[in-house]
């Protein structure tokens, strides 16, 4: 027997059993985006490697060690996108969307690829749901996008124990003085930091703040914080963002060492964590990236965006939604050959009414048929035997209470709909 071919390490199949949660999360995301007038954009999974090297930054973990990069047959270097902001900004420039003027509010859903060490909540192919606002540097833009994210995660998807961590990472005018202070402070402590941080102290000191090595944390806590170095404009911008969040009653925590692993951020950066997850507790992250469009050869176009880790959101949502996969199912049990035809007719009618219906065709004894209904977690079974066929009333059984009621054939769809509504509220 030939060996079976398995999926690639860090990738996984999403089977029908769990897909319902994914669809629900995506439906809610689309509804939230629509409410705030964001339009969908779909960009390719494959991009030129230089797009990410220039935007995310050559010395970030993502670009230096996590990208799936390969040489195409003609020698060109291509990469499976590790994130989508760079792609969205590329598309914005390439299709000259800026010519239309005004603000562009875009959202996307799709797979991203990073060659990380796989574990629960961390995959090599994972999914992000993200949004970008291009063409505005107003602090209110940041606040509005954060409000939308809050509405989606907390109000719609009931994300438990969530925290919004915010920071400002300054701009190209004020950040250099912070970086030099940081570099200076690192001189004294870098020998006690991990090997990666020793290298980062030289190449990109801000990245030291991102370090996840436990032993480094007490030392990192002593380093200077960027909030003491912000220029007047950046400070005012950050104050306005915080004020806006206060006005909208969105709770947050200022976290001065939050810098995030991508070089293009300026000013506002943030992360949302949830206590419902384990070690990988970051559900979403993002920030402002004024200057990214210019870096990619486009016009000046300030931007703000975020990406939600859909895998992690589904994980957290699955715990909330313990009726997982149980969008109500109606099972039709028929008892004799002669009741198969009325059963099939009823199934067709209920399906036309948009109910989810299962009808099995092989003959079964009554008990076995109802056992099958329980196994597929049907909410109601409709029982059709010779009696029912002659009286024109079918028995409808509530599968969790066991209660059974005769219902007139013509009223079954209405009856089920009313009962389901009652149960789900």
Interaction of residue 277 with ligand AMP, rule CB under 6 A: no
Interaction of residue 311 with ligand AMP, rule CB under 6 A: yes
Residue 271 CB, nearest approach to ligand AMP (Å)? 7
Interaction of residue 309 with ligand AMP, rule CB under 6 A: yes
Is the torsion defined by CA of 146, 148, 149, 154 positive or negative?
Answer: positive
Among positions 312-331, residues that touch ligand AMP (CB under 6 A) are 312
DSSP summary character for residue 207:
G
User: Which of 189, 194, 220, 282 is close enough to bind ligand AMP by CB under 6 A?
Assistant: 282
Interaction of residue 269 with ligand AMP, rule CB under 6 A: no
| Token reading at 26 | 């995506």
Interaction of residue 122 with ligand AMP, rule CB under 6 A: yes
Interaction of residue 80 with ligand AMP, rule CB under 6 A: no
Helix (H, G, I), strand (E, B) or coil at 68: strand
Interaction of residue 307 with ligand AMP, rule CB under 6 A: yes
Interaction of residue 116 with ligand AMP, rule CB under 6 A: yes
CA torsion angle 295 298 299 300 (round to 10):
-30
Q: How far is CA 245 from the centre of its chain?
A: 22
Q: Which is nearer to ligand AMP, 152 or 332 (CB)?
A: 152
Interaction of residue 267 with ligand AMP, rule CB under 6 A: no
DSSP summary character for residue 119:
B
Interaction of residue 157 with ligand AMP, rule CB under 6 A: no
Beta strands across the sheet bearing 393-398: 356-359, 329-334, 380-384, 393-398, 404-408
C-beta separation of 40 from 107 below 8 A: yes
Number of neighbours of residue 70 by Cβ within 10 angstroms: 12
Q: Which is nearer to ligand AMP, 24 or 409 (CB)?
A: 24
DSSP summary character for residue 307:
E
Interaction of residue 170 with ligand AMP, rule CB under 6 A: no
User: Which of 47, 83, 263, 290 is close enough to bind ligand AMP by CB under 6 A?
Assistant: 83
C-beta separation of 204 from 128 below 8 A: no
User: Which of 114, 190, 267, 409 is close enough to bind ligand AMP by CB under 6 A?
Assistant: 114
Number of neighbours of residue 333 by Cβ within 10 angstroms: 25
C-beta separation of 157 from 320 below 8 A: yes
Among positions 223-262, residues that touch ligand AMP (CB under 6 A) are 261
- What is the binding site for ligand AMP (CB under 6 A)? 83, 114, 116, 121-123, 126, 128, 261, 282-285, 307, 309, 311-312
């Amino acid at each position: 027997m030939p060996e079976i071919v398995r999926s690639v390490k860090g990738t996984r199949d999403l089977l029908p059993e769990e897909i319902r949660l994914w669809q629900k999360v995506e439906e809610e995301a689309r509804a939230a985006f629509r409410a705030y007038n964001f339009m969908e954009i779909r960009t390719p999974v494959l991009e030129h490697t230089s797009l990410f090297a220039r935007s995310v930054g050559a010395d970030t973990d993502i670009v230096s060690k996590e990208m799936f990069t390969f040489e195409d047959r003609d020698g060109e270097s291509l990469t499976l996108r590790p994130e989508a902001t760079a792609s969205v900004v590329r598309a914005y420039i390439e299709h000259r969307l800026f010519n239309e003027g005004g603000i562009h509010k875009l959202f996307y859903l799709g797979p991203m690829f990073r060659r990380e060490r796989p574990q629960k909540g961390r995959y090599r192919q994972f999914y992000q749901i993200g949004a970008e606002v291009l063409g505005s540097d107003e602090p209110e833009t940041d606040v509005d996008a954060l409000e939308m994210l809050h509405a989606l995660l907390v109000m719609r998807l009931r994300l438990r124990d969530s925290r919004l961590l915010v920071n400002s990472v300054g701009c190209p005018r004020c950040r250099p003085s912070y970086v030099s202070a940081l570099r200076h402070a690192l001189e004294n402590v870098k020998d006690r930091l991990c090997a990666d941080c020793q290298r980062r102290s030289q190449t990109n000191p801000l990245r030291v703040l991102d370090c996840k090595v436990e032993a480094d944390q007490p030392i990192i806590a002593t380093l200077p914080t960027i909030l003491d170095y912000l220029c007047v404009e950046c400070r005012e911008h950050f104050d306005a963002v915080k004020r806006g969040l206060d006005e909208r009653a969105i709770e947050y925590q200022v976290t001065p060492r939050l810098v995030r692993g991508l070089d293009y951020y300026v000013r506002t950066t943030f992360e949302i964590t949830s206590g419902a997850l384990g070690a990988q507790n970051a559900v979403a992250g993002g920030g402002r990236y004024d200057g990214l469009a210019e870096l990619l050869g486009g016009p000046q176009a300030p931007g703000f965006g975020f990406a939600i880790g859909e895998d992690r959101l589904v994980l957290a949502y699955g715990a909330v939604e313990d009726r997982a996969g149980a969008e109500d199912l109606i099972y039709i049990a028929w008892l004799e050959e002669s009741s198969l035809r009325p059963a099939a007719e009823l199934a067709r009618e209920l399906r036309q009414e948009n109910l989810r219906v299962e009808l099995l065709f092989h003959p079964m004894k009554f008990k076995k048929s109802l056992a099958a209904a329980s196994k597929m977690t049907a909410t109601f079974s409709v029982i059709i035997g010779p009696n029912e066929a002659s009286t024109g009333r079918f028995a409808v059984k509530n599968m969790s209470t066991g209660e059974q009621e005769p219902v007139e054939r013509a009223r079954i769809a209405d009856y089920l709909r009313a009962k389901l509504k009652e149960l789900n509220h």
